Amino acid sequence: MNRSASPEGRALKAASAALQLLQRATAIRGELRLTSAAFKTRRGITELIRGSLGTNNLPRAGLFYCKILAPIAAEEVYHSDTVIFWQFKGSSTKLAVTAPYDEKPASIGNGTMLALNVGSIDKVDKIFSIALGLGGTSEGDPGYRNSESFYGAYFRDLDGNKIAVFTR
């Protein structure tokens, strides 16, 4: 059987092509850092297992994310002088807040956003409030969006990274 003709083979090929495009964009713009280690396959399905956000002040960013991730029980699983990882309960997905590997200043990407499904309207409201209370800036107050297909809010962290919190 030609594996690339199967649905799983096509999905894996598409994910590989997307990863190559992301890696090229990374090399050119330095805004989003995903590595091949950020993808894994399970039963022919490719899933993103890690997102990374750059910071110029890891202790400050660590405190910010510790507080906004608390309502969804994300656990800090690794902490060094250059990176902090949180893992989400019941998931292999991790979030990394990191000083850029190339040692240049972290910068935000235009059009780049991290979205977190937090599971409830109360948690959307709470995390948005915590983020603003810690010095984050609003990019869209909590409310229903896209013909009420989801409830969400948008904010920027202390380094300017755009974050969405939502529930369906």
Q: Is 18 or 45 the better-scoring residue by pLDDT?
A: 45
Mind listing the domains of the chain with CATH numbers?
1-48 (no CATH), 49-167 (3.10.180.10)
User: Are the beta carbons of 151 and 142 closer than 8 angstroms?
Assistant: yes
**Does the predicted TM-score (pTM) go above 0.75?**
no
The span from the CA of 7 to the CA of 125, in Å, is 39
Distance between CA atoms of residues 124 and 121, nearest Å: 5
pLDDT in tens, 21-57: 444 433 333 333 333 344 444 555 566 678 999 999 9
